[in-house]
């Protein structure tokens, strides 16, 4: 069986891309001509995928933007996942994490029933809340380590003895990796600490949000987040690509932004690796 890490590396090598586009589609930010259409969100997602699929190695779908739409949103979510080519990683950005029997059901829903290739999870409740996801050996599990929001300083930087909490999370969770399918979420806006997480995590893959609208540094993410092979990172951008234009040219504009970001990422990969 091909492991998740092996599949990710193969996809990134073939596409020469570390780019992940977040399909976190907000109907109120879509072009006006799509907002009144019954399948406007689905059409928007399809156009974005068609415009960028040769430039990315993954798509990340934040569940909140679909769950908020009720039953219709779940249908859009399923149909969006089905539109992504099998040669591209799909990440269910669900941030799940609960007691073991509940996490078992969450894992089944995201990784089996919906068919995502990877999922984001929260480690706060400990190993038994993450283990059910890791049992899907060919699926990726990205554990929240150091997030891109301002509230990260409320807990993640608090000292646990001599270490900060996020460092202790990485040190502890790394020991749960048995099937080459564990990774970490590390925010681009915390670029000064990405190097620390990489040192602690070894070659485990990172999912890095916070580029684009949130202002993270592409250069610092590549320089400090990549493995020694210049890979091992999925750099996510959502709003800066999805809403590059409010008009009917939104897909072309999204592609232009994706090309620009992908070229910038590869420029720094060539510079440092």
Q: What is the pLDDT of residues 236-261, one digit of tens each?
A: 999 999 999 999 999 999 999 999 99
* Number of structural domains found in the chain: 1
Q: Which of 46, 95, 108, 174 is catalytic?
A: 95
Alpha helices in the chain (DSSP H): 4-15, 32-35, 40-52, 64-67, 71-83, 100-107, 127-134, 152-155, 165-174, 191-201, 218-225, 239-242, 250-272
* pTM of this structure: 0.96
Rounded CA separation 264/218 (Å): 7
- Asked about 127 being catalytic, the answer comes back as no
pLDDT of res. 192:
79
pLDDT of res. 40:
96
CB atoms within 10 A of CB 160: 11
Boundaries of domain holding 224: 4-272
CA dihedral 206, 9, 18, 166 (to 10 degrees): 0
pLDDT of res. 16:
95
Average pLDDT on 58-69 reads 97
Q: Which residues pair with 233 in a beta bridge?
A: 206
For 28, residues 6+ apart whose C-beta sits below 8 A from its C-beta are: 35
Region of poorest pLDDT, from 102-111, 190-199, 202-211, 212-221: 212-221
Measured at the CA of 184, the angle between CA 183 and CA 186, to 5 degrees, comes to 150
pLDDT of res. 216:
82
* Per-residue DSSP letter, 204: -
pLDDT of res. 250:
98
CATH number at residue 239: 3.20.20.70
The model's confidence at residue 15, banded by pLDDT at 50, 70 and 90, is: very high
pLDDT of 213 above 70 = no
The model's confidence at residue 188, banded by pLDDT at 50, 70 and 90, is: confident
């Amino acid at each position: 069986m091909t492991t998740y890490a092996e599949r990710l590396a193969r996809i990134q090598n073939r596409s020469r891309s570390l780019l992940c586009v977040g399909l976190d589609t907000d109907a109120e930010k879509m072009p006006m001509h799509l907002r009144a259409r019954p399948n406007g969100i689905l059409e928007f997602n399809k156009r974005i995928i068609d415009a960028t699929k040769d430039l990315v190695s993954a798509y990340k779908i934040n569940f909140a933007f679909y769950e908020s739409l009720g039953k219709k949103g779940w249908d859009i979510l399923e149909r969006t996942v089905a539109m992504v080519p099998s040669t591209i990683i799909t990440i269910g950005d669900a941030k799940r994490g609960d007691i073991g029997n509940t996490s078992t059901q969450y894992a089944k829903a995201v990784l089996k029933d919906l068919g995502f290739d990877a999922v984001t999870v929260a480690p706060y409740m400990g190993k038994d809340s993450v283990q059910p996801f890791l049992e899907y050996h060919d699926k990726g599990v990205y554990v929240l380590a150091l997030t891109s929001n301002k509230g990260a300083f409320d807990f993640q930087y608090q000292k646990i003895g001599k270490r900060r909490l996020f460092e202790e999370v990485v040190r502890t969770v790394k020991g749960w990796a048995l099937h080459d399918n564990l990774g970490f979420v590390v925010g681009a806006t915390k670029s000064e600490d990405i190097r620390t997480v990489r040192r602690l995590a070894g070659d485990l893959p990172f999912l890095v949000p916070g580029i684009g609208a949130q202002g993270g540094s592409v250069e610092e993410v590549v320089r400090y987040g990549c493995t020694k092979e210049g890979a091992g990172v999925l750099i996510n951008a959502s709003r800066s690509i999805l809403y590059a234009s409010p008009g009917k040219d939104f897909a072309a504009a999204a592609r232009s932004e994706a090309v620009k970001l992908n070229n910038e990422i590869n420029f720094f990969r060539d510079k440092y690796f």
